[in-house]
Amino acid sequence: MNLPNKLTISRILLIPIFIFLLTVPFDWGTWNIGSNELPIAHFIAALIFIIASGTDWVDGYYARKYNLVTNLGKFLDPLADKLLVSAALILLVEMGVAPAWVVIIIISREFAVTGLRLVAAGEGIVLAAGSMGKIKTATQMVAIAVLLLHNFPFSYIDFPFGIMMLYISLFFTIWSGLEYFIKNWHVMRDSK
């Protein structure tokens, strides 16, 4: 198994630890950050999320640079991303930090794009991610990380950066999803 696939698998293995830290009521104390308190368990979970998100960039970089792209990687990499982001967003709703309707739209877009990719794969067509999709992913990762950190460091100036980034990521989620379907609608047309 090559390095990019090992990194992808490590990202998947970090997800249960991340979930555990956010759902089990640890009494490790809190840090005061501006007008908010940040539980230490949430800080550790946020670090795990940031590290796991970083492996997404690293595994893609190594796979392309050293020609280590494999079918296993093509399957696991987007799956790992969707599992990590979905778990984080759902937990942010449970924590009362993210609006459920925003999370529903973001996760629905992921299901829709995955469905389109499956149809394309059945026809032997590979659909590459576009630049808007990369911006969508980056804004989601930033929004989730800041929200997990209870808006640190922006809580010191009472600026709602985390929720603002979540709405920006929602915009790019919708835009990239529409762009993806418009560019690849030919896949959905029956050839009969």
The CATH number that applies at residue 161 is: 1.20.120.1760
Q: Which residues in the chain show pLDDT less than 70?
A: 190-192
Coil, strand, or helix at residue 31? Answer: strand
Exposure pattern of 133-146 as b/e (b: 16+ CB <10 Å)?
bebbbebbbbbbbb
Q: Give residue 191's pLDDT.
A: 53
Task: Specify burial of residue 164 (Cβ count, 10 A radius: 0-12, 13-18, 19+).
Answer: middle
pLDDT of residue 190: 64
Structurally, how many domains does the chain consist of? 1
Give the C-alpha distances (Å, rounded to integers) separating 117 from 113, 122, 130, 155: 6, 9, 13, 40
HSE-up of residue 114 (Cα within 13 Å, Cβ side): 16
pLDDT for res 145 = 97
Instruction: Give the angle 27-33-34 at the CA atoms, nearest 5°.
Output: 140
Looking at residue 172, its pLDDT comes to: 97
* Containing structural domain, residue 46: 3-188
pTM, two decimals, is: 0.90
For residue 35, give the DSSP letter. T
